[in-house]
Amino acid sequence: MRCAIVGSGLAALASYATLRRAGVRPDEIVVFGTHRDPTAVWAERAASIRQDRMRSESDGHVAAASFPGLALREGSPRALAQTVANRYRPPVTLFLRHAEHVRARSGWDESFVERRVEHVRAVTDGFELDGEGSFRNVLLALGHPGLARIPGAVHAYEPHDYAAKVAVVGAGMAAATEWRNALAAGAEVVSIRRREPLRRPLNVPRAFFSKRGLSRFHGLAEPDRAALLEDLGRPSYPPGREWDLDVPVAEEPPPGFQVIAATGFRRGFAHDPLLRALVEEHRLRTQARWIVLASDSTVPELTDERRTLAIAGVAGQWAFPAADTIAGAKYAAHAFARRTCRTR
């Protein structure tokens, strides 16, 4: 039995750890990825916007078991008190140190093969990944299909400094963070945005992390489900005084201003060459920019008793609205591990 994970980010590492905990050995798993260090891509983005605390809570870590969480690992009474009130945000340094530990302990490096997979082709008992033989169970954890760029602007998720005058394009969490960063660096800051920002505590409300909320979501008609996902994807940042910044709004970046694109990522499966080809060649069902998945994150047309194709990360939102979080990665990973172990 061999299974494969395509992709090498946080979702891939969380899935790998979940498979290992379910008893699958390193020599039974191949991870095809572009980065041997599964935190590399995320860590650069977080460092670029000077993120020093996680957005997620104590259990937002990549180990398979949620206990012990990061608050317990931090060990301070303050962290433990905050976690009781859902107010604990782990330091990024702690999250990364712990991820490094999970990578070392799980055997990730034994399974890792440096390779960008271009083609997933269904065969009778599994899937061929480029010319790399056949795998019965495959999890795609490809991350976002690239940054949404603006010509001439530096992207907020790429390393940058702040000039004396800064125009931040966008109205979500990254934009709000960049207003704060640039103001703290002493810059004059303007915000370039089309509409007033939404203030939401979390991109995806807590209800969608619960069994009940999820089953309501899974019961929606397809167009309603796509409309809901579209709404949840609107740029937002949390309410609260720490985010209430007095930043003037302009329609265009004024001349002489450094332009920072806090515009997030390109959206939708069609921007990812592997997913686009998969949909076209296997005639997968789609709705707007989403691939239609079963509620356990598998691709229904290509999953049966003999084989599994599942999608984790942002491209798996059809099954789990907060797919692009660590909790979302684990949702897909648990179902994948269950199926993998069943077909062993």
Ligand X SMILES: Cc1cc2nc3c(=O)[nH]c(=O)nc-3n(C[C@H](O)[C@H](O)[C@H](O)COP(=O)(O)OP(=O)(O)OC[C@H]3O[C@@H](n4cnc5c(N)ncnc54)[C@H](O)[C@@H]3O)c2cc1C
Which residues here bind ligand X, judged by CB under 6 A? 6-12, 32-35, 41-42, 45-46, 49, 51, 54-56, 60, 116-117, 141-144, 157, 274, 313, 324-326
* Residue 258, strand partner residues: 166
Phi, psi of 113 (to 5 degrees): -125, 125
For the CB of residue 305, give the shortest distance to ligand X in the complex, in Å.
Answer: 27
Q: Which residue is nearest to ligand X (CB)?
A: 9
Quote the CA–CA distance of 312 and 315 in Å, as a whole number: 7
- Nearer to ligand X by Cβ, of 63 and 257: the residue is 63
What is the chain's alpha carbon radius of gyration, rounded to the nearest angstrom?
Answer: 21
For the CB of residue 259, give the shortest distance to ligand X in the complex, in Å.
Answer: 19
Task: Specify the amino acid at residue 44.
Answer: E
For the CB of residue 126, give the shortest distance to ligand X in the complex, in Å.
Answer: 17
- Nearer to ligand X by Cβ, of 192 and 323: the residue is 323
Quote the CA–CA distance of 112 and 121 in Å, as a whole number: 21
For the CB of residue 182, give the shortest distance to ligand X in the complex, in Å.
Answer: 16
- Nearer to ligand X by Cβ, of 13 and 259: the residue is 13
* 32 SS3 class: strand
- Nearer to ligand X by Cβ, of 6 and 148: the residue is 6
For the CB of residue 328, give the shortest distance to ligand X in the complex, in Å.
Answer: 7
Q: Calculate ∠ Cα 338-59-239, nearest 5°.
A: 125
The torsion region of residue 11 among left (phi > 0), alpha (psi -120 to 50) and beta comes to: alpha
- Nearer to ligand X by Cβ, of 142 and 187: the residue is 142
Task: Specify the amino acid at residue 97.
Answer: R
Q: Are 186 and 163 in contact (CB under 8 A)?
A: no
